[in-house]
Amino acid sequence: MGGPGLEVAKFTFYVFMPMAFMVYFGGPGFYERYVADEAFKFNPPPKMKMPTEASDVQRALEQLRADREARRIAREAAMAYANKE
């Protein structure tokens, strides 16, 4: 057996090593250095620009409404087909 000194050293290692990992790997510096750039490589931000002019906004709203209406019609057709069988 190693004695009480070894037990204290093991206890210190077991308690403070996970805390040191959390501080190092959970810190904002580590995130900015290693993770932030990789996130954009795998999940790039969308390239579509948000409309700023009133006419562009209106056109985008009309497109969204038309898409929603098309999905609603398709959903109702699928429900009617499922109920018919």
**Domain assignment of residue 58, given as a range:** 47-85
How many residues in total does the chain contain? Answer: 85
The CA-atom distances, in angstroms, between 74 and each of 17, 61, 62, 64, 85 are 57, 20, 18, 15, 17
What parts of the chain have a pLDDT lower than 70? 1, 39
Which pLDDT belongs to residue 7? 93
Residues 59 and 81 in one domain: yes
Residues 15 and 29 in one domain: yes
Residues 4 and 27 in one domain: yes
Residues 81 and 52 in one domain: yes
What are the counts of helices (DSSP H) followed by strands (DSSP E) for the chain? Answer: 4, 0
Share of the chain above pLDDT 90, in %: 58
Whole-model pTM: value is 0.42
Q: Contact 70/78 with Cβ under 8 angstroms?
A: no
Which pLDDT belongs to residue 8? 94
Residues 41 and 52 in one domain: no
Number of domains in the chain: 2
Residues 53 and 69 in one domain: yes
Residues 2 and 41 in one domain: yes
Q: Which residue bears the tokens 């290693």? A: 34
Residues 3 and 34 in one domain: yes
